[in-house]
Structure 1
Amino acid sequence: MIRQAVLQYIHEENALDQLEQIIDNRSAVLIHGRQAYEAAAFLLPDVPRFLFEGHCTDQQVEALKQSCAPYDMILALGGGSVIDTAKQVAFQLQLPVIVIPTIVSNCAPWTPLSVMYDEQGQYIRFDTFPVVIEALLLDHRILAASPYDYFVAGLVDTLAKWYEARALSGSSAEDPVIETALRTAERCKDLILSTNVSETRFREYSADIQYLVETVIPLAGSIGGFGDAATRGAIGHAVHNALSPYRETHPFLHGSKVGYGLLVQEMLFGNDADYAELHQYLLLQKQPTSLTDFGLSLDIVEELALRTSTEELCRLLRPLVSADQLADAITRNEKTSVSMTS
C-alpha cells in the first residue's frame, strides 16, 4: 500500500502569503500551539482559533472535534503533536487540513498518520488513515527563526529512516516501490551526514539548509508512504517508545531519543562502521548517546530491554529480537559510549 498525504507542497520565502487564496470562501478554524502562534501570528488571517497544549491524545481529539465541527476546514500550526492531533480531528470529521509547521523536528507535516499518547505522555499507538492534507506550507520567515535544537533532533529522526528501513528490508529490494523508499532514505542519510550545520547557518536559511529541511519533512515523510511496513520504524523508534514511561526522558526531544535507539540497534546488529559514524555525528550535534546522558541508571537495562522487545515496531523484525539480546546491546552501547567520549 502506498500512502501519501499532501496535495499541495509550498516551500517558499513567503509561503503563507498564499494561505488566504487557498482558504478561499471556506470557513476555517486554527488549532495552534502557544509559542507557534506567537511566532506566526503576524502572517495569519483572522480566523477562530483553539489553543493546543500537551500530547496528542484521544481526549484532546474528542474535545477538538466538538469545537471544529462547524467549520469547513482546519489549519494546523505548530509542531508534531499539534499537527498529529489536527490530522486525527480532520480525519474523524472528514475535513481538509492545511498544515503550517513552525519547527523542523519530524515528518509529521507530511504523513497520513498520528502518533497517539496517553495523558502522561506515554506512547500507546499510531493510527494511519487516508486523510488528505490539502496544503503544506513551509515559510522561510517562520522556520529560519524556529528553535535550532528541534532542527537537529529532526535531522537525527530522519537518519532513522535509513537505518531502520535497512534493518527491516535490507540494503536493496526487488520491489521498485520499496527500492525507491530505500534509495530516498539512503540519500537523506548521506546528505545529513555530509552537510555542515550550525545555528548560524540555520538562521541564514541558505539553499543547503533548505535541502536539509526537505529531507526532514517531505522526503522523510514519503519514505514510509512508499515503503509502508517495509520501511517503518524498527528498534530506534521502539527504544524511543520504551523510554517514554521514564520521566527523566521527557525533557528530551523525540529525535534525540530515537538517535540513542539507533545506537542500540546498530550495536545489536554488529554494524561497527555505521555505529561509529552515527555515534560521532550524535556527539558532534550534542545528542545523548547513553542512558547516563538521559539521567537514567543502568539498573533499568533489563526493564528497558523487555519494554523494547514487546514494542510492535521491534516485533516487525525477522528473526525476532529477544529481550536478552537487547539488554546485551544496551549494556555494550553504554560501555562503548563511555570509551568513545572519554
Structure 2
Amino acid sequence: MFTIPGPGKYVREVELLNEIGAYIQGFGNSALMIGGQTALSKVQSVITASLEKQGIENKGFTWYGGECSWAKVEELRAIVQEKKPEVLVAVGGGKAIDTVKAVAFAENLPLVAVPTIAATCAPATPIAIMYDDEGTFIEISHRSKAPNVVLVDTKIIREAPYRFLVAGIGDTLAKWFESSVSVKKSQPTALNQSAVRLAEGLYQMLLEKGPSAIETIKQGKIDAAVNDVIDSIILISGSVSGYGGDDCRTAAAHAIYSGLTIFPEVHDTYHGEIVAFGILSQLVLEGKSEEEIRELISFYQKVELPYTLEDMAITELSAEEWERLGTVTVGIEDMDNMPFAVTPEMVVHAIQGADAIGKKVKQL
C-alpha cells in the first residue's frame, strides 16, 4: 500500500509571506519563484524582502506560461536548469501551482507552494491536471510533486476577487459527490472509507458556512468561517484525495467539466464553477430526483455558483457539438470512476437535464 496524503506542512496566517524566507531556508539557500503574472506582482516585494532578510539568493520571478501544459513544463525546466535554484516556489492559482509541481517533480527539487487564491486543492495534492496549450484538458498526471510546505497568507486571499472562493467551494463540493460514487468500485478499506466520511463532512460544513464566508470575503474581511472554508478548499479537500487515493478520485462531475472545456466560451468560467455544474449533471446521470437537485441549486444561489449552461456563456450548441461533447466526456478518465458504464448519449441527456432544471429554477 502506498499513498501521499498531502503536503509536508500547511501553514495559514495573516501576512505569512513576511516569513517565507525562514520556511525556504529549511530546504536550500536559493529560490526561484514561478507563478501567474498577477500573483507574482502581488507578492514580489514581500517575498524579495523576506529572502534578503534570511540571506537567501533570489533567482528571480518567472511567469509559468499561462497554461499547465507539458510544453510549458519543458520551457520552465530549461529555465530551472540554467538558474540552478535549490528551491522552487510556486505562486498563484491551481494551473500555475500544478505546472510548478510538475517541474519540481522532473527536476527533483524542494517545493514551497504559495496559493494566492483559494479556488482548488491543487496546492495540497501530488497530482497535476494537464491541458494542451489552448486550455483543453488532456490528463491527470502523477508526474507531480506534493509541496513540502504550503503557505497560505490570508491577507493575499482576502484581496483576491471573491469569485475565486466561490469557485473553490464548487470544486470542494465535488469531493463528496464524486468520492461517494467512485468508492463503490473498490473494496472498503480504512483509508477510502475515512476519505468518504471526510468528504461528507466537508460538504456539510460548506453548506453551513459557505454563504457566510462569501458575504464576509465580499466585505474584504476574514473571520472563522472564511478560515474554515479556505482550509477546506485547499488542505482538507486535498486530503480526501490523499487518503482515498485512486479509490476516491474525481468522477462524472470533473469529466463533464473537462468535456465542457472544448468550448472556448467557458474559458472565462473558473474550474470550480464548471465543476459545480458538472455535479448537477452527475446527479441527473445517477437518476437523482429533481427535488434533490433543486435543493443543491438553492445553495448555489446563495454562494453564486452557476447552475445553467448560460451561466457559463454557453447559449446554444449544435447537434454536432452536443455529439462531440458527449464523446469527449466519456473519453475522460474521470468518467471511468463511475460505478456504471456511461455512454455519450447519457452524458448529453444529463447535461441537458441539469440545464433544464436550472432554467426552471430561474423562472420562479
TM-score if structure 2 supplies the norm length?
0.89
Within-5 A mapping of 1:23-102: 23-24=24-25, 26-45=29-48, 47=58, 48-69=60-81, 70-102=84-116
Alpha-carbon distance in 2 for matches of 1:91, 1:184: 28
Q: Per-residue deviation at 1:172? A: 11
| Worse overlay, 317-326 or 64-73 | 317-326
Q: Per-residue deviation at 1:14? A: 3.3
Cα deviation, 1:35-79, whole Å, max 9, x if unaligned, reads 112222232125212122311111111111111121111011111
Give the residue type in structure 1 aligned to 2:118. V
Tell me if structure 1 keeps the 8 A contact 2:36–2:96: yes
Secondary structure (helix, strand or coil) at the match of 2:269 reads coil
Cα deviation, 1:173-195, whole Å, max 9, x if unaligned, reads 73111111001101110011111
Secondary structure (helix, strand or coil) at the match of 1:119 reads coil
| Worse overlay, 78-87 or 161-170 | 161-170
Q: Per-residue deviation at 1:307? A: 1.8
Secondary structure (helix, strand or coil) at the match of 2:109 reads coil
Within-5 A mapping of 1:243-282: 243-272=260-289, 273-282=291-300
Task: Say yes or no: does 1:176 pair with 2:176.
Answer: no
Q: Per-residue deviation at 1:225? A: 0.9
Q: Per-residue deviation at 1:170? A: 4.7
Q: Per-residue deviation at 1:130? A: 6.6
Alpha-carbon distance in 1 for matches of 2:292, 2:87: 45
Alpha-carbon distance in 2 for matches of 1:313, 1:16: 35
Query: Residue in 2 aligned with 1:317?
Result: 338
| Worse overlay, 122-131 or 99-108 | 122-131
Query: Residue in 2 aligned with 1:295?
Result: 313
Tell me if structure 1 keeps the 8 A contact 2:251–2:338: yes
Tell me if structure 1 keeps the 8 A contact 2:166–2:304: no
Task: Say yes or no: does 1:201 pair with 2:239.
Answer: no
Give the residue type in structure 1 aligned to 2:71. Q
Alpha-carbon distance in 1 for matches of 2:239, 2:6: 9
Identity %: 28
Distance 1:132 1:247, change over 3 A: closer
Give the residue type in structure 2 aligned to 1:30. M
| Worse overlay, 190-199 or 141-150 | 190-199
Cα deviation, 1:254-307, whole Å, max 9, x if unaligned, reads 011111111110011122254222211223333222223333314333332222
Tell me if structure 2 keeps the 8 A contact 1:5–1:131: no
Alpha-carbon distance in 2 for matches of 1:171, 1:139: 38
Alpha-carbon distance in 2 for matches of 1:78, 1:322: 36
Query: Residue in 1 aligned with 2:150?
Result: 136
Task: Say yes or no: does 1:332 pair with 2:353.
Answer: yes
Q: Name which of 225, 235, 238 aligns with 2:252.
A: 235
Query: Residue in 1 aligned with 2:205?
Result: 191
Q: Per-residue deviation at 1:90? A: 0.5
Give the residue type in structure 1 aligned to 2:115. P
Q: Per-residue deviation at 1:95? A: 0.3
| Worse overlay, 271-280 or 163-172 | 163-172
Q: Name which of 316, 319, 328 aligns with 1:307.
A: 328
Tell me if structure 1 keeps the 8 A contact 2:119–2:166: yes
Alpha-carbon distance in 1 for matches of 2:334, 2:323: 18
Secondary structure (helix, strand or coil) at the match of 2:176 reads helix
Query: Residue in 2 aligned with 1:109?
Result: 123
Alpha-carbon distance in 2 for matches of 1:126, 1:276: 31
CA RMSD of aligned residues (A): 1.9
| Worse overlay, 33-42 or 157-166 | 33-42
Tell me if structure 2 keeps the 8 A contact 1:301–1:331: no
Cα deviation, 1:86-114, whole Å, max 9, x if unaligned, reads 11000000000100110110000000011
Query: Residue in 2 aligned with 1:214?
Result: 231
| Worse overlay, 165-174 or 300-309 | 165-174
Secondary structure (helix, strand or coil) at the match of 2:333 reads coil
Tell me if structure 2 keeps the 8 A contact 1:34–1:51: yes
Unaligned stretches of 5+ residues in structure 1: none
Runs of 4 or more off by more than 6 Å in structure 1?
A: none
Q: Per-residue deviation at 1:334? A: 2.5
Task: Say yes or no: does 1:163 pair with 2:180.
Answer: no
